[in-house]
């Protein structure tokens, strides 16, 4: 049984962070990404829809008697209106990934984690991780998230089937708007359903991280001697100074 029951010292925590060992949760990143995409679509969807309508109108009203080069140039120019929305989408995707990672690691950049380490290829370490508490928690959390998403999809399908018959009386613009709103609500519920599992996963990952950094009393004494010096030697030195001063 391990005798590492003492909480890690600040120096031990700093050394672990320098080695790239931090408490982080991928589920937090997933939840934050879902919220970012939902907000982006809610804000930009009407604008993107208007641009798509304009593009369809311009392409379908081209003069067929014109040369192919002219038609291609006109179509290419019409497609350029999607340049900024495309770049904005890339920016949102990058921020949705970077912000939660930077928030969890506090901007930590550890080059040691990217260096090749042959210890990671040890099959014994992989076998031990298969039965670790971290893997058990990840499996349980994945099952919980899958159950939540399954319930949301069942509720969405039930609502869609209940409103399927009245939808045939809608005009095409109204039907498209209704479909967009329904998808927005579903995406919002999917993103919101991942917040609580993400927070719980981060707390568990931090607990397991601190647990893995536990020290025994000998390690704490050794670290204290390295930082402050041997207490016995320091006491003898002070005693000699007092004797010399008398």
Residue 135 is inside which H or E element, if any? helix 133-162
How far apart CA 178 and CA 167 sit, in angstroms, is 9
Q: CB neighbours of 220 closer than 8 A, spacing ≥ 6?
A: 6, 9
| Count of CA atoms in the C-beta half-sphere (13 A) of 217 | 1
Report residue 125's pLDDT band, with 50, 70 and 90 as the boundaries.
low
Report residue 112's pLDDT band, with 50, 70 and 90 as the boundaries.
low
Q: What tokens were used for 6?
A: 């003492």
Q: Which residues of 14-29 are buried (b: 16+ CB within 10 A; e: fewer)?
A: eebeeeebbbbbebbb
Asked whether the beta carbons of 35 and 97 are under 8 A apart, the reply is no
Asked whether the beta carbons of 143 and 197 are under 8 A apart, the reply is no
Asked whether the beta carbons of 74 and 64 are under 8 A apart, the reply is no
How confident is the model at residue 17, as a pLDDT?
A: 78
How confident is the model at residue 76, as a pLDDT?
A: 82
Which DSSP state fits 170? Answer: S
How far apart CA 75 and CA 68 sit, in angstroms, is 10
pLDDT digit string, tens, across residues 169-228: 777 777 777 777 888 888 888 888 888 888 888 888 888 888 888 877 787 777 777 666
Q: Taking Cα atoms as reference points, which of 162, 221, 212, 233 lies closest to residue 13? A: 212
Q: Give the number of other Cβ atoms within 10 Å of residue 99's Cβ.
A: 14
Q: Is 201 exposed, middle or buried (0-12, 13-18, 19+ CB in 10 A)?
A: buried
Question: Crossing angle for the helix pair 26-60 and 68-79, nearest 10 degrees?
Answer: 140
Q: What tokens were used for 190?
A: 């999917």
For the entire predicted model, the pTM comes to 0.69
pLDDT digit string, tens, across residues 76-87: 888 888 888 888
pLDDT digit string, tens, across residues 32-57: 888 888 888 888 888 888 888 888 88
């Amino acid at each position: 049984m391990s005798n590492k029951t003492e909480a890690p010292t600040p120096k031990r925590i700093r050394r672990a962070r320098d080695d790239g060992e931090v408490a982080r949760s991928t589920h937090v990143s997933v939840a934050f990404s879902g919220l970012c995409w939902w907000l982006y679509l809610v804000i930009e969807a009407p604008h993107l829809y208007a641009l798509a309508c304009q593009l369809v109108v311009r392409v379908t009203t081209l003069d067929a008697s014109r040369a192919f080069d002219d038609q291609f140039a006109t179509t290419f120019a019409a497609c350029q209106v999607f340049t900024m929305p495309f770049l904005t989408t890339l920016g949102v995707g990058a921020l949705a990934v970077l912000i939660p990672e930077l928030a969890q690691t506090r901007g930590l950049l550890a080059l040691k984690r990217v260096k090749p380490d042959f210890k990671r290829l040890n099959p014994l370490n992989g076998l031990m991780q298969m039965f670790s508490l971290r893997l058990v928690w990840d499996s349980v959390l994945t099952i919980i998230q899958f159950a939540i998403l399954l319930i949301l999809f069942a509720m969405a399908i039930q609502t869609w089937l209940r409103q399927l018959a009245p939808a045939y009386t809608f005009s095409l613009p109204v039907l498209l708007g209704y479909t967009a709103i329904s998808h927005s609500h579903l995406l919002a519920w999917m993103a919101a359903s991942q917040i609580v599992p993400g927070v719980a996963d981060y707390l568990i990952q931090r607990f397991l991280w601190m647990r893995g950094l536990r020290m025994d009393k000998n390690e704490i004494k050794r670290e204290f001697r390295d930082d402050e010096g041997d207490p016995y030697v320091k006491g003898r030195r002070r005693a000699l100074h007092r004797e010399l001063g008398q």
